[in-house]
Amino acid sequence: MAFEYIKALHIIFIVTWFAGLFYIVRLFIYQTEALEKPEEERKVLVPQFNLMAKRLWLGITWPSAILTLVFGIWVLTYRWGYMQLGFMQAKLAFVFLLYLYHIKCHYQYKELQKGIAKWTSNQLRIWNEAATLLLFAIVFLIVLKNTVDMIWALVGLIGLGILLMLGIKLYRRIREKNP
């Protein structure tokens, strides 16, 4: 019975972590665009977006990332045999990439809190989709648990990536026509 509670908590913190990751990059976009506004607007927007980013990043996203890891390891202690299976090794590789993504977001967070925007808002939109791709990869791997299905899922993941990039380009064109 304890296993189900631990697994449920792991899933809950995965959801809150991803919510934080998706929204923080959206805030990075807003922060970056606010830094380009006229002084009067910038004085209002930048502190507000900085506060929102700080509360989200430090109050939700980081704690969720840590608790996801804690409960994930705890779940694995009940299913240690899964560590020998290819799907679990692939899933954990994607989870590792997700933590690298998280750390890169932390560096972006720190720079934007100082008013330094090294990436354009369009680059950040593309960056935001990396978390989407990782989410799809992780969920398909943990649900399918089959090498053949994993290959099809990865082909689908590549297709999804292409669709996301096309969507970003289309959005950019629409936005440029209607500022």
Res 115 pLDDT > 80: yes
Residue 115: domain span: 2-177
Largest CA distance in the chain: 60
**Per-residue pLDDT tens over the stretch 125-179:** 989 989 988 998 888 888 888 656 667 777 777 888 888 888 888 887 887 887 6
**Per-residue pLDDT tens over the stretch 43-87:** 999 999 999 999 999 999 999 999 999 999 999 998 888 878 888
Burial class (CB in 10 A: 0-12, 13-18, 19+), 124: buried
**Per-residue pLDDT tens over the stretch 7-40:** 999 999 999 999 999 999 999 999 999 999 999 9
Q: Is there a binding annotation on residue 118? A: no
The pLDDT confidence band at residue 90, using thresholds 50, 70 and 90, is confident
Average pLDDT in the 119-125 region? 92
> What total number of domains does the chain contain?
1
pLDDT reported for residue 6: 96
Res 88 pLDDT > 90: no
Residue 115: helix, strand or coil by DSSP? Answer: coil
- DSSP letter at 36? T
This prediction's pTM: 0.84
d(CA 77, CA 18): 23
CB 101 within 8 A of CB 131: yes
Contacts 24+ apart (CB under 8 A), 92-96: 94/134, 94/137, 94/138, 94/141, 95/138
Residue whose structure tokens are 């330094």: 116
Q: Is there a binding annotation on residue 91? A: yes
Residue type, 176: E
